[in-house]
Amino acid sequence: MIPLLFIALAQIPKPANLPGTSIALDILRPHFNSGATSLLSVAAFASGRLAVGPAYLFVELPFFNVDPSPPSVAGPTSTIGNPYAGIEFGDRRLGGHTRLSATAGVRFPLLTKTDEARTIGSYVDVSRFEAFRANTLSIQSALRFRAQNNDGFFVAASGGPTIWMPSRSSDKTELVLHHEVSVGHQGSAAWFAAGYTGLSILTETAAAVGELTFGELYLSIGGARGSVRPVLHVMLPLDEEYSAFIGSVVGFGVAIGL
């Protein structure tokens, strides 16, 4: 069985190339350009995936910690981000190794504090930007297309709208578009993928949309065999404003089939 798309949008964790019921943990370590931090400054995403007939139910809980180095008087800042619940369905075979699937879900506005030490977690992984966006209910959706040849080389594209609904009346509702393209290889023992993932805020003026589009390049390599499947990530921001916060991100993840 060919695994589902393992590099996806905000609602799917990057190690989720494991078919069926599984749990996963992704830990991402950013290099902050705005100041030195210890190795304990990480974003972590714990998730679970449950097969229900032809669909998959998915939940994710994000966590972020900033620990200045040398230590500050305020000490480290830790926060639990906005949890996600959604469904993945479709995975329709269009012919050969070509597949189409869809996802839909909601991130709930658990994070209410707006200080930078917490909200900067949004920039650790653009594909999960809503995980640390304060006071925002996010309704997310995406379509995914993937084509693979007989040698295991593939190309994938995914994208879809997300609605940011503020929990405070002083803020306005925003429509954003997540988008991603990737190429890679799926082998019997391992896989790799390289690509671009980005986000565009569409409810701004036409002139401002370009300025409010930002993204990152990434490379991921992971195991494709067994019930325990590790994965490594490297991410590089492209946008000038984005890179003012974060220079690069390295990460490790693991998915465990149940």
**pLDDT > 90 fraction of the chain, expressed in percent and rounded:** 48
For the chain, what is the domain count? 1
Cα separation values, 234 from 15, 124, 136, 150, 196, Å = 13, 11, 28, 27, 12
CATH of the domain at 132: 2.40.160.40
CB 122 within 8 A of CB 153: no
Residue 8 maps to a domain: no
Residue 59 within any structural domain of the chain? yes
User: Using 50, 70 and 90 to split pLDDT, how confident is the model at 6?
Assistant: very low
CA angle 221-50-182, nearest 5°?
Answer: 30
Domain that residue 236 falls in: 22-257
User: Could you tell me if residue 16 is inside a domain?
Assistant: no
> Which has the higher per-residue pLDDT, 114 or 43?
43
pLDDT average, residue stretch 45-62: 91
* Within-domain flag for 70: yes
Question: Does 91 reside within a domain?
Answer: yes
Distance of CA 252 to the CA centre of its chain: 13
In a domain? residue 4:
no
Q: Is residue 157 part of a domain?
A: yes
What does the pLDDT read at residue 92? 63
Cβ count near 59 (within 10 Å): 16
The reply to whether 238 falls in a domain is yes
What is the per-residue pLDDT for 243? 78
44 pLDDT above the threshold of 50: yes
